[in-house]
């Protein structure tokens, strides 16, 4: 059931907004039962859509159904609702992101015919939304694969957007009954998981590699299924990087709780064995240094990536980390001693370098061989800096 479900908000959107309802008191049935109605709260919602089926919910992005030889096909809206936007934002912050999928199968936009193009995509809702937004005035069939709610490129890398899945979905959807041609347009980035030759062999459908970005799809179709070079190259613009920051931060929430606990415990150790007062006063300083590391590694590095020196991300993170650490030292110069300042400096820099290195997972250009090479050099240095920071921090409590 869950794969046919969308949020309640979506459902509300589908059934029309409340303002379209007839005034509550003018409904004849209700007039007869005025007393009962008055004590039953808000007016009733609209009637169920004629497409409603027991046990299913109609998604907010479906505006109609089209009858085809393979059964009714949902026709989707090409404009996003407020609910879609709100859900996208929350997914970007890591909320509900792991279950943000839609049911796989055939959908359509406009009024497609048997010779209309078939666009294949992933069932991550953000991906699906990005595609349908670009399809106003396009008559097309959309074959949504079950990529377990993961975007095209990541799903291809995990063999979810795969030859297997394309072949299977073509067969189970009855696509051959709906279209007269035998051609599928796949997003270029799915080539990591899909072999065009094998799809042709096993399903009879020829794969045409579409553009990387959904916003080029119209131009691609209008040009007679031709992509120019810019459509075939990934980009990593400032806005493409900035949208990644919230989700990077959301991954840090859980470990941060543990790290803060550790910071306050270690900060309390001293000549009195454990001092609550020190745990707080020194702990706040260390937490501040840790937060500066997060800021410089997980926010500044993605934001100004290409202007930072070095090719290795751990180096980029260390550079922003040193600058952030410098500010920490300047701020705390009066309250912390030299040992403590050194410890805080190392802490901010190590955290920033590590988080900068972690950003490799979000970029469209870092090779696994490169990341592994960089990690083998960087992790020992980061670990050493972290360890030295802890030793100096605890030691300082005994000398101050």
Partner 1 sequence: MQDFRYLYDVSTLSLNREACTGCGMCEIVCPHGVFKVDKKKAGVIDKNGCMECGACAKNCPAEAINVTPGVGCAAYIIQTWIIGKNGNSRGIAKCY
CA-CA distance, 24 to 34, in Å (whole number)? 10
Total number of residues that touch partner 1 (CB under 8 A): 47
Residues 215-274 that bind partner 1 (CB under 8 A): 229, 232-236, 247, 251
Residues 313-332 that bind partner 1 (CB under 8 A): 313
E strand residue ranges, the chain: 62-68, 71-76, 105-109, 118-121, 140-144, 183-187, 206-210, 269-270, 273-274
Of the candidates 237, 199, 10, 200, which has an alpha carbon nearest to the alpha carbon of residue 102? 10
Query: Does 184 interact with partner 1 (rule: CB under 8 A)?
Result: no
Q: Which of 197, 276, 384, 399 binds partner 1 (CB under 8 A)?
A: 197
List, in order, residues 6 or more apart from 243 with CB less than 8 Å away. Answer: 92
The helix, strand and coil proportions of the chain, stated in percent and rounded to the nearest 5, come to 60, 10, 30
Query: Does 372 interact with partner 1 (rule: CB under 8 A)?
Result: yes
Instruction: Give residue 258's Cα distance to chain centre.
Output: 25
Query: Does 386 interact with partner 1 (rule: CB under 8 A)?
Result: no
List, in order, residues 6 or more apart from 320 with CB less than 8 Å away. Answer: 296, 297, 300, 301, 308, 352, 356
Query: Does 392 interact with partner 1 (rule: CB under 8 A)?
Result: no
Query: Does 306 interact with partner 1 (rule: CB under 8 A)?
Result: yes
Query: Does 364 interact with partner 1 (rule: CB under 8 A)?
Result: yes
Q: Which of 143, 170, 189, 341 binds partner 1 (CB under 8 A)?
A: 189
Helix (H) / strand (E) containing 156 = helix 152-157
Q: Which is nearer to partner 1, 373 or 400 (CB)?
A: 373
**Segment near partner 1 (CB under 8 A); pick from 49-57, 257-265, 296-304, 308-316:** 308-316
Instruction: Give residue 174's Cα distance to chain centre.
Output: 31
Q: Which of 209, 220, 264, 295 binds partner 1 (CB under 8 A)?
A: 209
Interface contacts to partner 1, rule CB under 8 A: 153-154, 156-158, 188-189, 191-197, 209, 212, 229, 232-236, 247, 251, 305-306, 311-313, 357-358, 360-375
């Amino acid at each position: 059931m869950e794969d046919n479900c969308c949020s309640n908000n979506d459902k509300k959107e589908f059934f029309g907004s409340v303002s379209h309802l007839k005034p509550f008191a003018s409904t004849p049935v209700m007039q007869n039962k005025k007393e009962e109605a008055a004590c039953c709260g808000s007016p009733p919602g609209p009637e169920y859509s004629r497409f409603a089926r027991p046990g299913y919910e109609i998604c907010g992005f479906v505006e109609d159904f089209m009858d085809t030889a393979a059964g009714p096909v949902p026709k989707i809206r090409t404009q996003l609702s407020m609910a879609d936007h709100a859900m996208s934002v929350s997914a970007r912050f890591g909320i509900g992101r792991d279950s943000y999928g839609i049911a796989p199968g055939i959908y359509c936009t406009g009024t497609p015919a048997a010779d209309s193009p078939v666009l294949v995509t992933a069932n991550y809702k953000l991906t699906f939304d990005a595609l349908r937004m670009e399809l106003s005035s396009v008559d097309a069939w959309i074959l949504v694969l079950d990529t377990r709610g993961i975007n095209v490129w990541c799903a291809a890398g995990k063999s979810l957007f795969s030859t297997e899945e394309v072949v299977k979905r073509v067969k189970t959807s009855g696509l051959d009954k709906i279209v007269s041609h035998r051609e599928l347009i796949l997003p270029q980035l799915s080539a990591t998981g899909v072999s065009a030759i094998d799809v042709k062999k096993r399903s009879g459908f020829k794969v045409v590699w579409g553009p990387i970005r959904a916003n080029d799809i119209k131009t691609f179709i209008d040009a007679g299924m031709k992509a120019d070079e810019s459509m075939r190259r990934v980009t990593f613009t400032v806005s493409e990087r900035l949208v990644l920051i919230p989700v990077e931060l959301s991954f840090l929430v859980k470990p941060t709780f543990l790290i803060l606990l550790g910071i306050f415990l270690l900060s309390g150790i001293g000549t009195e064995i454990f001092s609550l007062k020190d745990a707080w006063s020194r702990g706040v300083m260390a937490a501040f240094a840790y937060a500066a590391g997060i800021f410089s590694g997980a926010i500044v590095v993605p934001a100004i990536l290409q202007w930072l020196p070095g090719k290795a991300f751990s180096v980029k993170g260390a550079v922003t980390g040193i600058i952030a650490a410098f500010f920490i030292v300047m701020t705390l110069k009066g309250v912390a001693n030299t040992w403590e300042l050194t410890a805080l400096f190392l802490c901010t820099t190590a955290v920033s370098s590590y988080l900068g290195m972690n950003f490799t997972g979000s970029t469209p250009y870092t090779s696994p061989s490169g990341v592994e090479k960089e990690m083998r050099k960087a992790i020992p240095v980061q670990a050493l800096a972290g360890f030295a920071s802890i030793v100096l921090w605890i030691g300082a409590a005994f000398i101050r």
